[in-house]
């Protein structure tokens, strides 16, 4: 059995908002500019951070999670990256020990060194206590050290360094600069493709890393971060259930929550993917099935609702019993009405009866599983809207939480050949069940 070794670093923090995405992207960009082949992964479900991480590393970014994607999937993706990369970076989710499974669980399972990014802007000696607590809270977790972020001055950096119990664990300090942060909105970071100066922003962060002691420290210590990844036997798809099927996938600023792994699965099932942009006014391509992924239909509700040609084509597609899988934002566009957070009401595509109403607080968050045809597809939900519909749900997802398994999750609506839910599916968790989303009912086993 072949194995591959590669320096790997899991970058986490004591909480969200500490700057771990900025540092991970900046470090990936810094190392790439130094000629290193860098692969980056995102721990847990996340569509938005990977846009920046991919731009920084110049490589696709995949999600890894011990529950949603599965342990074997994590190992196979890490091993495949180790075969070709000089460095692997993994950005954690939330705080280091938050979630079930957490970023720490992933690090312990694969013996990956952990670096903590701590916003030190309002602390001095407490920085050392916090770093020590993160290091020692879980036994068997390999500790790489701590980076002080948003530091006020060289004198402040000296105080922070002196607070660390083991001087070897202080990896450096990045000085505060408001220009280095990534812009955000209600669902998270704004996509890098929407920012005119996205590359310049990454350059700024990479330059800050280079001018600090952090960059050289990481370069010197990379060999000590080496992790061995044995080859895991992969399950091969023996059935090309979507062979010769054309799947039209909406892709633009309104429909942008698309996991690269999901596209990979569809192609491995034999499908040919045809992208189209509802925002650009594209008609529905000639296709066997449609995937309307999540995104931001609420930001473009008027333009989407006015795309009468596409609306008519989707209705005909459904009448002809051709499948549509619509998740979250894709589902929202298919209802009759969308009400924005400021109270404006827009007519949408009307394939489903009911109304979507945006709100300023979360309407759903967390890992969930969808059971269809005695098969389970794992995934998650994350949305700021509510749905009211006279249509009775076909089935309901199950939550995966720290306190209760099998709690009620998102509804799945079915109308003729249309299936829609707030649920975001991770296709690789069950490719065979995924195929059923894109096949007519009479073709399903």
Contacts of 30 (CB under 8 A, 6+ apart): 205, 206, 209, 210, 215
For residue 24, what are its two tokens? 């991970």
Give me the pLDDT at residue 408, please: 84
DSSP secondary structure, 424-441, as one string: EE-GGG-HHHHHHHTS-G
CATH class in words for 3-230: alpha beta
Give me the pLDDT at residue 403, please: 47
* Fold topology of 246-443: Rossmann fold (3.40.50)
Catalytic residue among 6, 43, 287, 328: 328
Query: How far is CA 145 from its chain centroid?
Result: 25
Give me the pLDDT at residue 445, please: 43
Compute the distance between CA of residue 212 and CA of residue 48 in angstroms, rounded to an integer. Answer: 28
Give me the pLDDT at residue 112, please: 98
For residue 228, what are its two tokens? 């061995």
Q: Are 382 and 424 in contact (CB under 8 A)?
A: yes
Element (H, E) at 71: helix 71-84
Q: Are 143 and 135 in contact (CB under 8 A)?
A: yes
DSSP secondary structure, 10-62, as one string: EEE-SSTTSSHHHHHHHHHHHHHHTT--EEEEEESS-SSHHHHHHHHHTS--E
Give me the pLDDT at residue 197, please: 79
> How many residues can be counted in the chain?
445
328 is a catalytic site residue: yes
DSSP secondary structure, 344-392, as one string: -EEE---SEEEEEEE-SS-SEEEEEEEEETTEEEEEEEEESEEEE-SSP
Locate the domains of the chain by residue range.
3-230, 246-443
For residue 219, what are its two tokens? 């370069």
Q: What is the mean pLDDT of each run of 10 residues along the chain (445 residues)?
A: 89 95 96 97 92 94 96 95 96 94 97 97 96 95 97 96 96 91 69 74 93 94 95 70 96 95 96 97 97 96 96 97 97 97 95 95 89 92 94 92 67 96 96 94 56
Q: Is 436 exposed, middle or buried (0-12, 13-18, 19+ CB in 10 A)?
A: buried
Domains 3-230 and 246-443 belong to one CATH topology:
yes
* Side-chain-side CA neighbours of residue 406 (13 Å): 0
Bridge partners (DSSP) listed for residue 189: 184
Compute the distance between CA of residue 414 and CA of residue 396 in angstroms, rounded to an integer. Answer: 11
β pairing state of 352-358 and 375-383? unpaired
Q: Are 85 and 202 in contact (CB under 8 A)?
A: no
């Amino acid at each position: 059995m072949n194995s591959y070794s590669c320096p790997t670093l899991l970058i986490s923090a004591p909480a969200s908002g500490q700057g771990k995405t900025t540092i991970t992207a900046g470090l990936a960009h810094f190392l790439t500019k130094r000629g290193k082949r860098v692969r980056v992964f995102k721990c847990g479900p996340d569509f938005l951070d990977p846009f920046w991480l991919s731009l920084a590393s110049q490589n696709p970014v995949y999600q890894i999670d011990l529950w949603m994607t599965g342990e074997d999937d994590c190992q196979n993706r890490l091993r495949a990256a180790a075969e070709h990369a000089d460095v692997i970076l993994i950005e954690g989710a939330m705080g280091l020990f938050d979630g079930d499974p957490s970023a720490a669980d992933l690090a312990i399972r694969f013996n990956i060194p952990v670096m903590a990014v701590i916003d030190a802007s309002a602390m001095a000696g407490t920085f050392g206590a916090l770093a020590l607590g993160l290091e020692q809270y879980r036994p068997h977790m390999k500790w790489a050290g701590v980076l002080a972020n948003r530091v006020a001055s060289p004198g402040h950096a000296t105080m922070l360094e002196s607070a660390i119990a083991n001087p070897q664990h202080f990896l450096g300090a990045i000085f505060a600069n408001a220009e280095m942060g990534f812009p955000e909105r209600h669902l998270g970071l704004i996509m890098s493709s929407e920012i005119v100066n996205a590359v310049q922003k990454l350059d700024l962060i990479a330059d800050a890393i280079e001018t600090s002691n952090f960059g050289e420290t990481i370069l010197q210590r990379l060999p000590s971060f080496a992790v061995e990844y044995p080859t895991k036997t992969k399950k091969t798809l023996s059935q090309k259930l979507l062979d010769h099927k054309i799947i039209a996938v909406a892709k633009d600023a309104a429909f942008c929550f698309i996991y690269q792994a999901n596209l990979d699965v569809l192609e491995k099932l034999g499908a040919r993917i045809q992208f189209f942009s509802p925002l650009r006014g594209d008609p529905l391509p000639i296709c066997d099935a449609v995937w309307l992924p999540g995104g931001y239909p609420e930001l473009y509700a008027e333009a989407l609702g006015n795309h009468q040609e596409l609306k008519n084509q989707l209705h005909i597609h459904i009448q002809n019993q051709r499948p549509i899988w619509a998740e979250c934002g894709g589902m929202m566009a298919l209802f009759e009405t969308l009400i924005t957070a400021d109270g404006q009401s827009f007519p949408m595509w009307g394939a489903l009866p009911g109304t979507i109403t945006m709100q300023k607080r979360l309407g759903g968050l967390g890992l969930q599983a969808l059971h269809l045809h005695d098969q389970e597809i794992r995934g998650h939900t994350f949305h700021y809207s509510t749905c009211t519909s006279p249509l009775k749900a076909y089935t309901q997802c199950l939550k995966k939480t720290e306190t209760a398994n099998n709690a009620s999750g998102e509804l799945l609506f079915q109308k003729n050949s249309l299936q829609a839910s707030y649920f975001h599916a991770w296709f690789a968790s069950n490719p065979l069940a995924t195929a059923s989303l894109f096949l007519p009912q009479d073709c399903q086993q």
